Structure 1
């Protein structure tokens, strides 16, 4: 027995010795590090919104490091050099030549900047579980990012002891912290492999590249137009690998060779050499705010061939490049049949509206205050669009459709604005008078080709979103796009918009967007009874808006009748009701919660517990803040996570719709704000890339939650609601709840899934 014990002890000692001498497994960036960044960092460090331009969605972004120069800067007098990841430079050395500094490299005896930032966050005073953060921690877009260099870190830490990373949120687990610190101490090696197409995807890549690189003048012009309309898209293939998305780029090399990228500021800048259109995989973590998807399939290719090559048209000479070509794409591409161009955009209208409502241009209050907080968008049928059907009208209109922004001389902003305003108003007068000679518009005037025909847009103060279908109460305004308006909006706000441009370029873009909105409103008013149009216009342009009507907008047609038979007491509401009845098959977003017409205000065919939730939440919808005081306490986009007794959950978006006397001016929004008229839209789904707050509520508690919301009169009573059901940044399960929103997207609309942005998550 003694011998057996001694042998056992010796074996145990030997085993422990061998174990102690075993090397610690090497840390893999792909396996161990990127998942931590994706879970705890990408929500703030992705895309142009990245604090200090530190993008942690990929190894390339981590290696690139940080910069003190912000991407979004509405005051710079000179355009700055673009710094698009995977586009304007490649590799750490190249990025450092562009002014970026490493956050991964040790500095002499000092640890890497990232290691020190993580240590500062790890040793800070622990956050009170689900408690409010200290008021001295500034959050949101107004936060001034210090972006300290390694030599400036000690001063930063002394001045901001509670602002280590991750910032002002439940932080890393001990294991995640130790893993990151070990990786940084070992030199932060990156073993990331780029995303590559599968064999099936590669075959489809070749087919599409062959289409866009086909020889011939017609083919070259169509390819250029298609590229300019799809360059921002996250393209996916029928039968492709989950999570694989692609991007159109211009290359110096043809298919079959490595892509040699031509990285111009804009997609319609002169490439300076022969080009080949190429598809390459999008790298890094997919984030929702930039994830604007577009499908590629055999049916889509057949559709393109039918649209663009199904008729006999010729190109006498290919257009060049330059400011004039950028300013007026109607002239640049006039050889391509207008019907083909417009129909292509209509087929995927949600994509095109998303590019300018959810894209880089719509970031920040001044960028988004040109639009109402909620409105519906409709489209004019091609066979009722004079630009499509009447060559003489098209010839008159085309010179008037040029857009500003190509000349960024700061001293010329006013003169350029007046020049393009006058061109636009000449066009509006031509349109008004020409359409007056046509039969009155009827229901056939509206395009109803597929479920892209009806769209809902919501502004969330400093961002905006688009969804198919008609969501929410009947809005104050509606937009009607025809081809000249849709194409101008896309070119002005997407193709020609330079996020790295100066104050002149950005001001011209914003001012012309004001004219675009007014044009869309005027198009819609033509559907209303003639004697109601001035009243609607007066409602949309109250107070100072009257001055803008007089100064900058062309007069509307208030004489010619509509062909629609509408209730004279409230023609807009009657129009909305008839629209829903006529085009119900196209409305993919039925909404009994916000537009309850009877005793039952819930969706059909869902869990009875959720039907009760719908019914209760409908009491909050579409009521003005004058009667529902809690609206004054709510941020723009709140997510409600409701847990049912069966263990499932539903997510609702609670959107605050702010009311304004008008949205016609660049500055001074606060003076036009009408808080007593604010309302809430409640709808199942994640309707914002930027959640401002979240509640987690058992389904059985929802009636009480609603009652407490109805009774809340001030900040103190609302804070009690937050204390009970709110998920603050300090909640122990914050990240689980936050990322569950992305999991919900994966379950309901998997192609739209992406990591959401928490830069705007508020400290309620």
Structure 2
């Protein structure tokens, strides 16, 4: 519902914590939470209040989240000390959340007038209705955005009332056009009637699944009794606990894999047996000790909350995948030296996968990561929180990711790389990383003395499109897609098994979202080591004489200091890959594309071609094909100035004369001298290297602008975009075709894109976040 941290000023005091029944006089008029209120929150609020780090930690994606209320500390501010964890399953009751400092956002137990006057939910909505009428001043919001990370949320209605009086622009939806009158009346009627929640019957209906037997089949797989299966389940959970699970056999349902104190029920029981989540701080935390139980169970918990695209990535499964996982992990002998007898079980409470899962054959572990690489990398880049902020500084704006084939991977052939201890693998210090890199380089020299061939790149058997990933950074958030998309990037990665595990555990499994700044800075620094490692791995495919040139070009300025301290593992390795002397990267990409095949690399990228079509921007555009050809003249080129003025993500609706529409995302690809300093955004930009890519779908979860035009207008738009030389030029073009936050059509446009997303992207779609929408030029 609102936009940024500051935006969340929902604060209330309440005389009663639990929902009271409606009075007889109002019973017939009370809106239903399930049918009226939650759908309203979904379409107007959860975009910013639907994730772990929602502004003021108010989650409006469920009645439980609304009941929990808000939290005074700003999760995005700088702070040295750790905050309490705020996952919805950390504690079970509203009373426990109150003890942790959460304050109510609803008032109950009084008269209709008292409930409304003391409910900050309605006060903020009504402030927005009064001051955010179409055409409201966008400039009035600037002071609030400028200090959004300094904001502290008031915890009483009196404190909030004072803030509203001082600055009426804080009303909800924050910085956006007010809610429709009928929506406001619905909320008012519900709050006045004591804000009743879902009934038991409604909650039972929500928990029903389409096919309980399919759910039970997976729970049986994860809860198998033998020691090897239990260790495999731990490994899978560690790596995919953030993903959304969709079962082909249970259409329309979404699940997440959790650990529970309660066992699965009867296979035909619907809804399935109750899930009591054991929400440990880390996925590898000992659940027995944490929950005080002798047995825990892996469960598929149905997700009944709305999906938000900023942290939504799908693990799509069917019953045949059970057999596939059993074959991958359990069909082979693990070795006679392996002891899983209760006395030698894998340790808990240890964030080192190399030591914990040493018993599982390393190739099985790696193939699991490879076959689900988009999911694993999505966990690395999306994460459970709303915004990445400084965490994304280590990510470059556009790059492709490839993987070393298990047959060629030295960390598969010699998992310990000749090191004495597994601790070195997860040692995040400069010295620990150097020791690892030295060992990796020595292993390359010993096991791959002739260097890599093109076959060293995993091609997914030319069928698995997880073999080629496109990763995009949009300032404080990141997108991951499969295939060769967006045009040839400036930098590329080649990941191996041990590096894949290291970066996942650094940024996901070991990441403390609740921690202070120091641990987060350590994560950022280690990510930079790993990014450099993967760029170096890719450079090993090039001739030795070309490697340092690209290494220095990809990291400049202050980054050269860090570069000098980071070993180039395998720098002297030969290569068996033949590339052209004129443009080694372009010719290498051609070799990789042929090696991958069409299924993996994807269809020809006509929007971002390396060789441009022979068309003119002065030609009329009467079809989508003509639009694609014309637009491609402006993508992946440094010939124009306009990319330096683009925001990160623009989503375009393009209408044809027959009443149809297509959607395209215009993405800015920025370049910086280095990612080795968190100050790079302020002084190390290389705007002459910026480019734009266009994608024929919705990209990312945080649009900066919606644009809308007809095909007949698209030529004018492209010509004006080409001619942008200044920020003022861009602003004029934006105002001509964009839908600004104070437009009377804003919510109509948002709903249209939401519906398009659901219709065309299906299970992969979620609500778009509005935190960065139409931010002013000095902000984005």
User: TM-score of the superposition, structure 2-length normalised?
Assistant: 0.87
Q: Post-superposition shift, 1:658?
A: 1.0
In 2, the alpha carbon distance for the partners of 1:260 and 1:22 equals 35
2:683 to 647, 671, 679: 671
CA gap 1:363/1:429 in 2 versus in 1, 3 angstroms? farther
In 2, the alpha carbon distance for the partners of 1:601 and 1:233 equals 43
Q: Post-superposition shift, 1:397?
A: 7.7
CA gap 1:724/1:199 in 2 versus in 1, 3 angstroms? closer
Q: Post-superposition shift, 1:340?
A: 0.7
Q: Post-superposition shift, 1:527?
A: 0.5
Preserved contact between residue 652 and residue 664 of structure 2 (Cα < 8 Å): yes
CA gap 1:352/1:600 in 2 versus in 1, 3 angstroms? farther
1:561 to 563, 574, 598: 574
In 2, the alpha carbon distance for the partners of 1:517 and 1:581 equals 26
Which residue is 1:187 aligned to? Answer: 194
Which residue is 1:282 aligned to? Answer: 303
Which residue is 1:229 aligned to? Answer: 239
In 1, the alpha carbon distance for the partners of 2:562 and 2:695 equals 34
Question: Max radius of gyration: which structure?
Answer: 1
In 2, the alpha carbon distance for the partners of 1:675 and 1:518 equals 22
Q: Post-superposition shift, 1:394?
A: 6.7
Counterparts of 1:330-479 in structure 2, within 5 Å, are 330-360=354-384, 363-390=387-414, 393=417, 398-404=422-428, 417-437=429-449, 439-449=450-460, 450-479=464-493
Q: What secondary structure sits across from 1:138 in the alignment?
A: helix
Unaligned 5+ segments in structure 2 are: 1-24, 266-272
Which residue is 1:126 aligned to? Answer: 133
Which residue is 2:84 aligned to? Answer: 81
Which residue is 2:218 aligned to? Answer: 208
Which residue is 2:326 aligned to? Answer: 305
Asked if residue 138 in structure 1 is aligned to residue 144 in structure 2, the reply is yes
Preserved contact between residue 629 and residue 713 of structure 1 (Cα < 8 Å): yes
Preserved contact between residue 376 and residue 454 of structure 1 (Cα < 8 Å): yes
CA gap 1:430/1:254 in 2 versus in 1, 3 angstroms? farther
Preserved contact between residue 359 and residue 494 of structure 1 (Cα < 8 Å): yes
Asked if residue 62 in structure 1 is aligned to residue 66 in structure 2, the reply is yes
Q: Post-superposition shift, 1:320?
A: 5.0
CA gap 1:680/1:241 in 2 versus in 1, 3 angstroms? same
Q: What secondary structure sits across from 1:170 in the alignment?
A: coil
Which residue is 1:97 aligned to? Answer: 99
Q: Post-superposition shift, 1:59?
A: 1.2
Which residue is 1:18 aligned to? Answer: none
Which residue is 1:42 aligned to? Answer: 46
- The aligned length equals 718
CA gap 1:521/1:94 in 2 versus in 1, 3 angstroms? same
CA gap 1:660/1:447 in 2 versus in 1, 3 angstroms? same
In 1, the alpha carbon distance for the partners of 2:46 and 2:568 equals 48
Which residue is 1:744 aligned to? Answer: 756
Which residue is 2:275 aligned to? Answer: 259
Q: Post-superposition shift, 1:36?
A: 1.3
CA gap 1:574/1:691 in 2 versus in 1, 3 angstroms? same
In 2, the alpha carbon distance for the partners of 1:555 and 1:301 equals 40
Q: Is 263-272 or 356-365 further displaced after alignment?
A: 356-365
Q: What secondary structure sits across from 1:452 in the alignment?
A: helix
Preserved contact between residue 608 and residue 636 of structure 2 (Cα < 8 Å): yes
Preserved contact between residue 536 and residue 568 of structure 2 (Cα < 8 Å): no
1:696 to 702, 708, 712: 708
CA gap 1:348/1:197 in 2 versus in 1, 3 angstroms? farther
Which residue is 1:579 aligned to? Answer: 592
Asked if residue 250 in structure 1 is aligned to residue 259 in structure 2, the reply is yes
Counterparts of 1:684-723 in structure 2, within 5 Å, are 684-723=696-735
In 1, the alpha carbon distance for the partners of 2:186 and 2:140 equals 29
Q: What secondary structure sits across from 1:377 in the alignment?
A: strand
Which residue is 1:238 aligned to? Answer: 248
In 1, the alpha carbon distance for the partners of 2:405 and 2:214 equals 32
CA gap 1:25/1:361 in 2 versus in 1, 3 angstroms? closer
Q: Post-superposition shift, 1:719?
A: 2.4
Q: What secondary structure sits across from 1:48 in the alignment?
A: coil
C-alpha distance after superposition, 1:246-273 (max 9, x if no partner): 1111122322253332221111112213
Preserved contact between residue 55 and residue 75 of structure 2 (Cα < 8 Å): no
In 1, the alpha carbon distance for the partners of 2:446 and 2:751 equals 53
C-alpha distance after superposition, 1:671-713 (max 9, x if no partner): 2211121111111111111001111111110100011111222
Q: What secondary structure sits across from 1:749 in the alignment?
A: helix
CA gap 1:124/1:750 in 2 versus in 1, 3 angstroms? same
Q: What secondary structure sits across from 1:312 in the alignment?
A: coil
**C-alpha RMSD over aligned residues:** 2.5
C-alpha distance after superposition, 1:620-654 (max 9, x if no partner): 21222xx4233232211111111111111111111
Preserved contact between residue 234 and residue 247 of structure 1 (Cα < 8 Å): yes
CA gap 1:191/1:392 in 2 versus in 1, 3 angstroms? closer
In 2, the alpha carbon distance for the partners of 1:392 and 1:478 equals 26
Which residue is 1:495 aligned to? Answer: 509
Which residue is 1:30 aligned to? Answer: 34
In 2, the alpha carbon distance for the partners of 1:730 and 1:287 equals 23
Preserved contact between residue 240 and residue 375 of structure 2 (Cα < 8 Å): no
In 1, the alpha carbon distance for the partners of 2:357 and 2:30 equals 56
Preserved contact between residue 487 and residue 610 of structure 2 (Cα < 8 Å): no
Which residue is 2:3 aligned to? Answer: none
Which residue is 2:228 aligned to? Answer: 218
Q: What secondary structure sits across from 1:353 in the alignment?
A: helix
User: TM-score of the superposition, structure 1-length normalised?
Assistant: 0.89
Preserved contact between residue 262 and residue 276 of structure 2 (Cα < 8 Å): yes
C-alpha distance after superposition, 1:610-629 (max 9, x if no partner): 112212211221222xx423
2:286 to 270, 273, 279: 270
In 2, the alpha carbon distance for the partners of 1:180 and 1:220 equals 48
CA gap 1:44/1:261 in 2 versus in 1, 3 angstroms? closer
Q: Is 498-507 or 98-107 further displaced after alignment?
A: 98-107
In 2, the alpha carbon distance for the partners of 1:249 and 1:140 equals 39
Q: Post-superposition shift, 1:199?
A: 5.5
2:153 to 126, 135, 147: 147
Q: Post-superposition shift, 1:238?
A: 1.0
Which residue is 1:71 aligned to? Answer: 75
1:162 to 143, 159, 169: 169
In 2, the alpha carbon distance for the partners of 1:289 and 1:660 equals 24
Q: Post-superposition shift, 1:50?
A: 1.7
CA gap 1:600/1:579 in 2 versus in 1, 3 angstroms? farther
